[in-house]
Structure 1
Amino acid sequence: MFMSSGLFLLKNLSFFIAYRLVDSGYDVWLGNARGNLYSRNHTTLSPEEPEFWKFSWHEMGIYDLPATIDYILNTTGQSRLFYVGHSMGGTMLHVLLSVKPEYNAKMRLVIGLAPGVFYNHFSSLPTISGIRSWPVLKELLRATERYELLPYSEPTIALLYYLCSNSTVQMAACEMLVEETFGKTDGLNKSEIPLLAAMALGGNSAFTTDHFVQLIKSGKFQQFDFGPEENQQRYRSSTPPEYNLKMVTAPVAIHYGQTDKLVSDQDSINLSKVLPNVAEVRRVPSEFFNHLDFISHKRVNQLLYDHVVKSMELY
């Protein structure tokens, strides 16, 4: 949600899937969510203008992903591609395939790593606290017309790096925060916590956060709620419509962690029961594997990516 493609390229972390696929002969294209530090350009608007930030993962799904996919296919001359999406990467992909079902034919296989679609068993306590205080922060953002959240900032990153590496006590506090936010893990390399903290801030829009808060509170995978009056104008209904997941006909492989506090194992399984063409639903074979472990677990290759690369060979 707030990170960037930079995490896919940190060799001193365990996330080797990009390099593994290149070595296997694949072209690898790394996407960046609208609004992060690599995606702040616009033909007419500046990031300093409020209008620039008025988007959520809905716009990422219906505009940015199809533009990216078409660019890749046109450049490579291929007709289909593999899509690997972690967390919000899965959210926006399910938006695209629901709203523009013609893109299902452009997918060889969708690989969802804890895809953020259902949040009915959400248990991340720091995030729950943030959701409770969100209405107040939302009004403050609206009053100031500052809609960029957690932007990339070298001083902030330096502070985070310092706080998570300066002493044993501070590192332990950061480790506890990671587990309370993302879930228990047996694969966290403590020495990598400062690096993860430093890479955690890529920036995003307040409307993206607002859409996730809406999803969590409503329990429904639906379009953005603008309020009854504007909803009526946009959707001809006082409530936003749900995305029709039955339209996601591309083969989908879902991988989930047993101790993920953000996208729970049960929510991943429930998603698999809704989708019409599930290729695989797989629990990562570790007793403690959380939401961040898809990026940072020290044995992620053996537990997950060896299997992912082999499964891609079947398509």
Structure 2
Amino acid sequence: MEVANSLTCIILLIFFCGSAAGSRTKLFSFNAQGNGIGVAALAPSSDDGICISMVETQGYACEEHTVTTQDGYILSMQRIPVGRSGGAPGNRPPVLLQHGLLMVAKSVMDGITWLLLPPEQSLAFVLADNGYDVWLANSRGTKYSKGHTSLSPADSAYWNWSWDELVAYDLPATFQYVNDRTGQKLHYVGHSQGTLIALAAFSKDQLLNMLRSAALLSPIAFVGQMTSPLARNAADNFIAETLYWLGLSEFDPRGEAVVKLLKDICRKPGVDCTNLLTAFTGQNCCLNSSIVDIFLDHEPQPSATKNMVHLAQMIRQGTITMYDYNDANENTKHYGQPTPPAYNMTSIPNDLPLFLSYGGEDALSDVNDVKLLLDSLKDHDGDKLVVQYRDDYAHADYVMAENAKQDVYDPLIAFFKLKRT
């Protein structure tokens, strides 16, 4: 345990330091080259994207897509139109998978979240093999969604957003794109932050005309009772705010030296790097230690420091509101009122089909916080709400556990197949 705690402290330190140093380097490089606002970052070409690196290698057909949000961000999406056995796409029901937050200091994942396990265990592949038209979303700022119509990621203005903008722009753009391309309403699966932005949108009566049902894994709405000691410590000590005040607008935990160091540490005899996840996510029950090496090859991804500040505000205050500028005049300028508006979970329509699965060991989506969410849904139609509780699951188990297929994904798919009036 002492080794694990020491390792965790080292990891936390180098990730924070790596984030700061990486951002300074990028900002300096950008200014030194004399570039300015208006230099667009191009979307990655399909020859180095998720399809070719993670999907086609497993024998599945895959398409690379991009969608542009109303505020100019160019988002990468991947489509797995059929299962490994092939066949015509036909009229398969579409499912949109939205990644979330997972690891160190609430760093962001991307669409690869759903592809980390072998094909017979990864949710994206399992859905495709069960007759669904699968779409992977990648939020702004992640590796494959760094494009913008006029801004460069090296410019601080590019990172001027929090999860409010994911609700207002990213989620509507991806929903509309899938709906337009398939001509059908879609199922939605979110993990962690992917549940937060969906719940916020549903509470504002958004996206519902394009939605069949939603499955929320490790649901996050209230986070005031989060038990992750390092995540809470980062929030209580205003670490994200400090970075923001220092002008570090991009929160990037993926420095090359940091990743190499982590891999080297994880390969040492007697070191189980699932402890690296445990310190932030809770005691995951069912991860193979080899998954951490695969994870570090691809995750975590950058996010806006402003997004980290917003999440820290939620942890400290125990509320679900829009970003707080901590200034009545600034809040009034943005919202027309001196305090940020709340997302009201009781406003979620009672007839919206919802599948919620949460774990007793989850230190980020804490049981007591989930109970607050469930209390907000107490008037939900009984036949439209399915709640699953796994007492041994923590945050990472929902996307990386070896038994998630039979214990979570199979019930989730059964929920999607329910015939509802």
TM-score, length basis structure 2: 0.69
Q: Residue 337 of structure 2: which of 230, 237, 243 is its match?
A: 237
- The answer (yes or no) to whether the contact 1:120–1:267 under 8 Å persists in 2 is yes
**Cα distance in 2 between the residues matched to 1:103 and 1:12:** 32
CA contact (8 A) 1:13 1:298 kept: no
Asked if the contact 2:225/2:318 (under 8 Å) is kept, the reply is no
Instruction: Please give the secondary structure, in 2, of the residue aligned with 1:112.
Output: strand
Tell me the equivalent position of 1:211: 310
Report the counterpart of residue 188 of structure 2 in structure 1: 83
Query: Do residues 138 (structure 1) and 241 (structure 2) align?
Result: yes
2:145 aligns with 39
- Tell me the amino acid that sits aligned with residue 234 of structure 1: H
For residues 124-146 of structure 1, the C-alpha deviation after alignment (integer angstroms, 9 at most, x for no partner) is: 011122223325x5234333x32
- Structure-2 residue corresponding to 1:110: 214
* CA contact 1:110–1:251 (8 Å) conserved in 2: yes
Secondary structure class of the residue paired with 1:162: helix
Q: Name the structure, 1 or 2, with higher relative contact order (CA <8 Å, separation 6+).
A: 1
1:201 alignment counterpart: 300
- Equivalent position SS for 1:177: helix
CA drift at 1:105: 2.6
Tell me, in whole angstroms, the C-alpha distance in 2 between the residues paired with 1:47 and 1:89. Answer: 22
The whole-number CA distance in structure 2 between the counterparts of 1:257 and 1:215 is 20
Tell whether 2:202 aligns with 1:126. no
Residue 119 of structure 1: how far off its partner (Å): 1.1
Query: What is aligned with 2:129?
Result: 23
Task: After superposition, give the CA deviation of every residue in 1:5-53 in whole Å (9 maximum; x if it has no partner).
Answer: 1121234488521111111111111011211111111101100101000
Alpha-carbon distance between aligned partners in 2 of 1:184 and 1:220, rounded to the nearest angstrom:
25
1:97-146 per-position Cα deviation (integer Å, ceiling 9, x unaligned): 223x14223211110101211113210011122223325x5234333x32
**For the residues of structure 2 that align with 1:45 and 1:67, how far apart are their CA atoms?**
18
- What secondary structure is seen at the aligned counterpart in 1 of 2:147? coil
2:103 matches 1:4: no
**2:65 corresponds to which residue?**
none
2:359, 2:392 within 8 Å by CA — same for their partners in 1? yes
Structure 2: how far apart are the matches of 1:59 and 1:244? 17
The one-letter code of the counterpart of 2:158 is F
Q: Deviations over 1:150-195 (max 9, x none)?
A: 2544443233222222332xx23x3333222111232121222222
Let me know the Cα RMSD of the aligned residues. Answer: 1.9
Pair 1:191-2:294 in alignment? no
Q: Which has the higher helix share?
A: 1
Aligned to 1:28, the other structure's residue is in SS state strand
Q: 1:196 to 1:211 in 2, by over 3 A?
A: same
Deviation at 1:201, TM superposition (A): 1.8
Match of 1:289 among 377, 393, 396: 393
More strand per residue: 1 or 2? 2
SS at match of 1:283: strand
1:273 is the counterpart of 2:375: yes
Task: Identify if the C-alpha distance between structure 1 residues 105 and 129 changes in structure 2 by more than 3 Å, giving closer, same or farther.
Answer: same
Pick one of 343, 349, 355 that aligns with 1:253.
355
Give the match for residue 50 of structure 1: 156
1:43-91 superposed Cα distances (whole Å, 9 cap, x missing partner): 011001010000011100111111110010100111x111100000011
Could you tell me how far apart the structure 1 residues matched to 2:276 and 2:229 are? Answer: 10
- The answer to whether structure 1 residue 307 and structure 2 residue 307 are counterparts is no
Structure 1 residue aligned with 2:172: 66
**Which structure has the larger Rg over C-alpha atoms?**
2
Letter in structure 1 aligned against 2:269: S
Distance 1:178 1:159 in 2: 16
Greater CA drift, 84-93 or 234-243: 234-243
User: What is residue 325 of structure 2 aligned with on the other side?
Assistant: 226
Output the CA distance in 1 between the equivalents of 2:346 and 2:284: 33
Distance 1:180 1:29 in 2: 31
Q: After superposition, what is the alpha-carbon deviation per residue over 1:187-222, rounded to whole angstroms, capped at 9, x for unaligned?
A: 121222222244332111101111111111111111
**Is 1:86–1:115's contact at 8 Å kept on the other side of the alignment?**
yes
Separation in structure 1 between the aligned mates of residue 243 and residue 122 of structure 2, nearest angstrom: 40
Classify 1:255/1:49 alpha carbon distance in 2 versus 1 (closer, same or farther; 3 Å): same
Kindly, what percent of the aligned residue pairs are identical? 29
Structure 2 CA distance for aligned equivalents of residues 42 and 266 of structure 1: 39
Counterpart Cα distance in 1 of 2:262 and 2:412: 33
TM-score normalized by structure 1? Answer: 0.90
Distance of 1:141 and 1:102 partners within structure 2:
30
